[in-house]
A and B are shown apart, each in its own frame.
Chain A
Amino acid sequence: MKAAKKPATPQSATWPLDIYKVFKQVGIRQIAYVPDAGHTQLIKSCHADKTMRAVSLTTEEEGVAMMAGAWLGGDRGALLMQSSGVGNCINMFGTIRECRFPLLTLVTMRGEWGEFNPWQLPMGQSTPAALQNAGLVVQRVDDKALVGETVFAAANMAFQTNRAVAVLIGQRVVGFKDWSK
């Protein structure tokens, strides 16, 4: 079996660090995640930070519920997932909307720019509409240099207005596997 090449984005990318700095700036204390390759560095940074509790989930909707609990207890949190995970969350988003919980979720996109795996396309292409239908404000970033400020703006909106905000981090930022060779 032919191994896939590593993502086009090198692991030394600075945008994950930019997100981590924003987390510090806005006082994020709880991180919930289902791993995605695009979030690797950020997850490592959060686990290494003694002021944060990073929790690995079995499925993404657990994280939606956990973020609600965090807010009930006075903590700000952030939920990290891949676009495939958005579909798992839809009913739990209803609780967020009904109770007007703030929610900050960072979604690394699959199934778009340069995708090689056809199975990623159905959920990836449905992700923005699915989030909007579930009542989330959707903000998208395709430029690595703008990731930090986009997450900062989204965090402010979420926590100041008690709304759910999703930042879609485009596959162009995350990089894609080249299976053509």
Chain B
Amino acid sequence: MANQKSNLDRRVAVKSILTNRGDALVVTGLGSSSYDVGTMDHPNTYYLWGGMGGAAMIGLGLAIAQPKRRVLVITGDGEMLMGLGSLATIGAEKIRNLSIIVLDNELYSETGMQPTHTSRGVNLAGIASAAGFAATDTVTSLPALKTWIPKLYNTPGPLFLDVKVNANRYPLSIRLRDGAHIKNRFRESLLGAKAFD
């Protein structure tokens, strides 16, 4: 069954998180998270259309390379569950400029709305906390999310926020899907001419 604990719409959540993103760098997990973030496209966003389970670790490599910038990983519960080991790696590394945000509808929405383990009691924020993240939480409403947003950009990490969202689905909104282009666009925006050294 779809998550009954939250009435928060995923796109409202993403818009709230990214409206004042400043110079933050964003990595999205494949599927709905990429499409959601794609509605607010920005050259400092790297979208995954594959590599399930890899979003958090791309965030770690990027955060190490850019210690003065905040890195936000925005992904789904299914994608995060496939990369649980990366929570241990990131917790152990104690990286200060990385925030992981999971849009948790408790469903694999791209493949037929099958329930994920988070619908059966698996607590992602609890796992991140046990892995040594500096702060973790689960939010189920827009006001609760809004109190977290400044922390996502400013509080020393690693941070982990499980945002429970409802089962709303949207048409695929992002047309940008050539991987080499997404990578090159991101690097050129961040590094300028050095991107092609």
Contacts and interface: CB of A to CB of B under 8 A. Distances in A.
B50 A73 contact: no
B27 interface: yes
Interface in B14-50: 25, 27, 46, 48-50
Interface in B144-176: none
Interface in A60-83: 61-75, 77
Given A69-B27, A100-B183, A95 B85 contact: no
A57 B92 CA distance: 10
A57 B89 CA distance: 6
A93 B46 CA distance: 17
Given A91-B52, A94-B51, A99-B179, A65 B57 contact: yes
Nearest to B57: A65
Nearest to A32: B61
- Interface centre among B66, B83, B89, by most chain A C-beta atoms within 10 angstroms, is B89
Contacts of A53: 64
Nearest to B52: A91
A72 B83 CA distance: 20
Contacts of B56: 65
Interface residues of A, number: 33
A65 B190 CA distance: 19
Given A61-B53, A73-B66, A74-B187, 17 more contacts: A53-B64, A55-B89, A56-B92, A57-B89, A58-B86, A65-B54, A65-B86, A66-B60, A70-B61, A70-B62, A71-B61, A72-B187, A73-B64, A75-B61, A91-B50, A95-B179, A98-B50
14 contacts: A32-B61, A56-B92, A65-B56, A67-B61, A69-B27, A69-B62, A72-B27, A72-B58, A74-B66, A92-B51, A92-B53, A95-B48, A95-B54, A98-B180
